[in-house]
Amino acid sequence: MDKKIAKLINEQINAELYSAYLYLAFADYYAEEGLGGYANYFEIQAAEERDHALIFRKYLHENGENVVLTEIAAPDVSFDNFLEPLEKALEHEKFVTALINKIYDAAFKEKDFRTMNFLNWFVDEQMEEEDNAEGMISNMKLFGSDPKGLYDLNAECAARVYTVPSPLAAE
Ligand code: FEO
């Protein structure tokens, strides 16, 4: 594998672990505010991000590349209202999409078809992640200011369950 691509994938492991850290901070905020359903939603989101890191790690191993784990930055933990973490989640997912696209672009330039194929799962996943984040924002804007509406949204988030992503489930 081209060293530049291996380096970008190594950096992506860190970015995904940071995402997990960020979403855990969101979960803590909602838990402290009494919205256990939203806390559950972001705990699962954090687990998925850890899984994304593991998928990239596995890919490096399978291609005989070293994994280099580096320091994870502390996440931002100050929020003024229930909407703010949701908006930050969308902003963050767009940033992650740009990182995935950057690796894809490098793989395309190197004619690394294997990595392009590997990244296709993430291209689809990012579309889903952005779509989910947008849905969380619009729900909060539409119904979150009404106590009964917020209660129902929280209950909906409480029902979210973790599933192993397919690239790891195939083990
Ligand atoms: Fe791993 Fe939410 O992107």
In the predicted structure, residue 19 carries a pLDDT above the cut 80: yes
pLDDT at position 66: 95
Closest CA to 108 of 14, 10, 5: 5
The pLDDT, as a whole number, for residue 76 is: 81
How many angstroms does the Cα of residue 21 sit away from the middle of ligand 1?
A: 12
Q: Whose CA is nearest to atom 1 of ligand 1?
A: 49
Distance 70 CA to ligand 1 centre (A): 18
Distance CA 123, CA 167 (A): 13
Tens-digit pLDDT profile for residues 39-55: 999 999 999 999 999 99
pLDDT at site 77: 80
> Per residue in 126-153, pLDDT tens?
999 999 999 999 999 999 999 999 999 9
Pocket of ligand 1, beta carbon within 6 A: 16, 19, 49, 52, 93, 96, 129
Higher pLDDT, 110 or 169: 110
